[in-house]
Amino acid sequence: MFRLTVRDHIMIAHSFEGEVFGPAQKLHGATFVVDLELARPDLDENGIVADIGLVHDVLRATLAPLNYRNLDELEDFRGRNTTTEVLAREICERVRARITDGALGEEARSALDAVKITLRESHLAWASYEARLRP
């Protein structure tokens, strides 16, 4: 299995509900390093998993509506704790939708097996979510 990873980052604000979150129940900021990983069994005729420039464009466009935002104010997250795990799944599903809609081209859409998002809160803690692109 071949894998390609591109990286970007987002800066957000949010708060959590629940005693388990301690002081993070109050509004606070976070900066996440975001890794988008694509997997496929074979390389294409050009010897690549996907066009790195296009992959980075997809990631940046997916993150743009979240960057420098208070997630507590966004309708998509109302009533949800935007934990690192929840955000990893949400970003992954948004990337998957873009790929399915052809943002990386038809060849990549039909050949890619999986997409994975890893959100790194720090050098000590991160969470990932992976979704299949093909059955």
CATH number at residue 116: 3.30.479.10
Q: 71 exposed, middle or buried (CB, 10 Å; 0-12, 13-18, 19+)? A: buried
Q: Does residue 36 form part of some domain? A: no
Residue 41 confidence (pLDDT): 96
Range 100-104 contact pairs with CB under 8 angstroms and sequence separation of 24 or more: 100/133, 103/54, 103/57, 103/58, 104/50, 104/51, 104/54, 104/55, 104/58
106: enclosing H helix or E strand: helix 106-111
Residue 124 confidence (pLDDT): 95
Name the domain count of the chain: 1
Structure tokens at 65: 């509506």
The answer on pLDDT for 134 being more than 90 is: no
Q: Does residue 108 form part of some domain? A: yes
Q: Does residue 37 form part of some domain? A: no
User: Which residue segment(s) compose the domain that 8 sits in?
Assistant: 2-28+51-132
Mean pLDDT for all residues in the chain? 96
Q: Does residue 68 form part of some domain? A: yes
Q: Does residue 82 form part of some domain? A: yes
Q: How much of the chain, in percent, has pLDDT values that exceed 70?
A: 100
Query: How do 69-70 and 28-40 pair as beta strands?
Result: unpaired
Total count of residues recorded for the chain? 135
Please write the tens of the pLDDT for every residue from 19-30: 999 999 999 999
The answer on pLDDT for 135 being more than 90 is: no
Q: Does residue 100 form part of some domain? A: yes
Whole-number Å distance between alpha carbons of 19 and 86? 18
CB 28 within 8 A of CB 11: no
Q: What is the DSSP string of 57-102?
A: HHHHHHHTTTTTEEGGG-GGGTTS---HHHHHHHHHHHHHHHHHTT
Please write the tens of the pLDDT for every residue from 24-68: 999 999 999 999 999 999 999 999 999 999 999 999 999 999 999
Q: Does residue 40 form part of some domain? A: no
Arithmetic mean of pLDDT, 118-126 = 96
Residue 76 confidence (pLDDT): 94
In this prediction, residue 132 has a pLDDT band, given cuts at 50, 70 and 90, of very high
Q: Does residue 43 form part of some domain? A: no
Whole-number Å distance between alpha carbons of 20 and 24? 9
